[in-house]
Chains A and B, each alone.
Chain A
Amino acid sequence: MPDRNLHRQLKEIIIAELNLEDIKPETLADDDPLFGDEGLGLDSLDAVELVVLIQKHFGVEIKDMEEGREALTSINALAEFITARKSESEGS
């Protein structure tokens, strides 16, 4: 189960690094869509940066589109993905 601090951390990193000046972490719900016209409203070019940010801050790599499609739906999905990948690497 992801640590709730991870959710907060993800929001802060995404907002700061993608320069989303009008958005505060507390206004972003954990299950809001990250992409598209609803939710956070990120676009495909933001996805490029997001993949790199996740690797930079959490040491976790999104390897292909299938992983990305699941992980990048919402903050919840991203947090679960990161937690699962970290557990796998700690267990191996």
Chain B
Amino acid sequence: MNLQTDKPWSSRSVGAPWQHRFFYHLIRRGGRRPAYLFLYPVVLYYLCCRPELRRRTGPYLKRRFPAHGRLAGCRDAFRLLLSFSRSLVDRALVGLLGPQSLNTEFPRHDELKTAAAAGRGLIILTSHVGCWQAAMVYLSLLRRPVHLLVEQEAGNIDRHYFELTGRENPFRFINPAGFLGGALEMTCALKNGEIVCVMGDRRQGNREKHLTLDFLSAPVKFPAAAWKLAAVTGAPVAILFPLKNGPDRYRIELADIMQLNPDQARPLNRLRPAMAGYVKALENISQKEPYQFFNFYDMWETDA
């Protein structure tokens, strides 16, 4: 059984290969500052000349800022796209110049280490918030194999930071379009006491099991796979948000570590309280850092 590929979103970069090379060159020669500077005309270009990209910011921004008119909406779109572009530069920065190029603080890191060391496996639930790839650097400190459930779209030229290092990838990819959606690989990894990172805010396809919960006052289908895994395997779920809090600074917020019970595995609706906790945390983040939420598609769209 293969995962459905009928996703309403794409993770493919909108930039051309030469644009990516240009920014990598800037970063190598001058670091963050010149790359950030060049983002302004690039983002303005996309905003003014690529209306389909601006439209992709609409579903989220209209719900986050329902009272904003046209002018404020343009400003919001600019800020969101600029923030997103900076996160991409930060990701490349870490890959090209090393983890020390960003100052990352993680106040509750010890709690995550303790959870990982307990031997039951650990599910790290991330979201399209901040720069989650840069936060991956911290995971190597947990001294356990880390598996990322990531679909590598064909033709995508975006590079994860570790692909830019030229060194061996410290993480192992699990393909959600592979055999049984990667479920078997994730289960085996967790049973071995290893770490699995999953995005909690996007389904991999319209057939992926989900629960519908309100996010920004309207229903969204959130994927249930990670939660089901947690209930069945006994692995705790750690909800992480890596937020940018300065030009070269990130703060990783550990919103919660949840332990689910086996009796929450079935029926699916028993996962609702735990998933609601995650959605509430995600909503808090969108309130606190509205321009660091990077789902550029209509999460609220109902399926046909």
Contact = CB atoms under 8 A, between A and B. Distances in A.
Interface of A: 18-19, 35-36, 43-45, 47-49, 51-52, 61-65, 68-69, 72
A45 B233 contact: no
Query: Shortest 6 CB-CB distances between A and B: which pairs?
Result: A44-B181, A44-B183, A68-B184, A44-B180, A36-B1, A35-B1
Given A43-B209, A45-B225, A61-B191, A51 B1 contact: no
A19 B269 CA distance: 14
Nearest to B229: A48
B221 interface: no
Nearest to A68: B184
Contacts of A47: 180, 183-184, 187
B267 interface: yes
A36 B4 CA distance: 12
A68 B191 CA distance: 14
Contacts of A51: 184, 187-188, 191
A56 to B, nearest CB: 10
Interface in B147-195: 179-188, 191
A9 B244 CA distance: 54
A15 to B, nearest CB: 13
A40 B86 CA distance: 48
A74 B96 CA distance: 48
B285 interface: no
A58 to B, nearest CB: 15
A64 B182 CA distance: 11
Q: Which of A18, A47, A65 has the most CB of B within 10 A?
A: A65
A52 B231 CA distance: 11
Report which residue of B183, B191, B225, B233 has the largest number of chain A beta carbons within 10 angstroms of its beta carbon. B183
- Pick from A45, A61, A64 the residue with the most CB of B within 10 Å: A45
Given A63-B188, A64-B188, A69-B179, A52 B233 contact: yes
B266 interface: yes
Nearest to A42: B1
Given A19-B266, A61-B191, A44 B232 contact: no
Nearest to A63: B188
Contacts of A18: 266
A4 B108 CA distance: 53
B234 to A, nearest CB: 9
B224 A45 contact: yes
A67 to B, nearest CB: 9
A45 B188 contact: no
A49 to B, nearest CB: 5
A49 B230 CA distance: 11
Interface in B12-52: none
Given A49-B232, A52-B233, A44 B3 contact: yes
Nearest to B262: A52
Contacts of B191: 51, 61
